[in-house]
Amino acid sequence: MFSTRFTVLIVLLAIVAVTLVHSRNIQYEFDDASAEAFRYPQWAEMPHKRVPSAGDMMVRFANHIFELVAFYGMARTLQRIPTIYITSKRGAQRLEYVEQVMPGLIMKFKVEFDTIPRQAENLEFGANCCQYYNIDGYLGRSIPVLRLTGKYHQSFKYFEKYKDEILNFVAGPKQFKTLPMSSSSNFISCIHVRRADFVSPNRHSTDFTRAAWKAFTRAAWKAIRQHSAAREYLTVATHFILMVTVEALESHVSNSAKPAPLNTTIWISGNSPTDDLIYSRYNCDSLLITAPSSTFGWWLGYISKGQTVYYMDIQQTNDEVYKTGEMIVDDFFPSRWFKMQYNNGEIVIRI
């Protein structure tokens, strides 16, 4: 409990899949100047063994961040240079997006505009997206290039021991005129809502209906306030409002097309995905993930300022990633995060 009375602001990070920059068909000129932008001098004369990442994977933005951070952690563990091989314009574009959020991470990679060498040894592991596989047995291999295959490598256990370094990889803070900024006199509680491609029965259980999801969001929002402390809340709204979000939070959201005064309820971010991540790093004192298998929500929480993360219990959903065994829950969600279960209209926070 806090001894001082705080003002608490709520920020809703409303992410719609069709608006993400990485899903657009962007025309990109792939020329020598573009290639040179990724050729960092510090890697030019380093003839060490390398661990290449498949930089052209057809994955979404947050999935790509997961892949690159995991590869970085693996390379550190195996004492090798993390290397990205790029063979397309789209691959270069994706790398640019990641660099906007984590320039420090990309600086740690060697980037090759070429195919992976034929003599590379494939390490066949990582068949499931969200499960940790122990790679210690690959330490000390003499082959110059190890190619880590597999699917996404979405487990924090690959890089958790480098967490402080990863947080420092994030770009510096920005000023967001339409969102509250963190200060010693406020507490910003962020909510990540992702519907769009998460509304099918394979994402949310058929018995966990849209109405139940809305009720969960409201109940979770209230429970977080009680769990944090009894504090005074201000109500704020911004120009970008997603109607399903308005319905989900009902009277807590002002349906306004203009930035609202500081006596309303909730800010709704209209930022780009890259800016939402940067915003979370420096402003979100807590983060609620309402779509538990959303990797974007996951990264909002992992790099958040306050490191206090709440998430819907994925075992209460019909999420195909969990139901098919692709995800080991303890490998995907850090144990320090708070799992929220929704039963009979009430939220239970598991610590």
305-332 tens-digit pLDDT: 999 999 988 988 888 888 888 899 999 9
Q: Considering Cα of 259, then 98, then 339, then 151, what sign does the dihedral take?
A: positive
Of 25-34, 134-143, 288-297, 313-322, least confident by mean pLDDT is: 25-34
Lowest mean pLDDT, pick from 43-52, 143-152, 219-228, 251-260: 251-260
Q: Which pLDDT belongs to residue 243?
A: 30
What is the pLDDT at residue 281? 95
φ, ψ for residue 26 (rounded to 5)?
Answer: -90, 130
Alpha-carbon dihedral angle through residues 15, 69, 23, 88, given to the nearest 10 degrees:
170
User: Exposed (0-12), middle (13-18) or buried (19+): which is 259, by Cβ within 10 Å?
Assistant: middle
Burial (CB < 10 A; 0-12, 13-18, 19+), residue 45, is exposed
Q: How far apart are CA 14 and CA 250, in angstroms?
A: 15
In the DSSP assignment, the letter for residue 313 is: -
* Residue whose token pair is 């195996």: 78
| Whole-number Å distance between alpha carbons of 293 and 109 | 27
pLDDT value of residue 262: 38
Determine the Cα–Cα distance for residues 93 and 100; give it in Å rounded to an integer. 11
Phi-psi region of 153 (alpha: psi -120 to 50; beta: other; left: phi over 0): left
Closest CA to 54 of 96, 8, 98, 112: 112
Contact 154, 130 (CB under 8 A): yes
- Check: CB of residue 265 under 8 Å from CB of residue 241: no
Average pLDDT over residues 2-22: 40
Strand partners, 82: 51
Residues 178, 173: Cα–Cα separation, whole Å: 15
The closest alpha carbon to 64, from 302, 334, 291, 295, belongs to 295
Mean pLDDT of the chain: 72
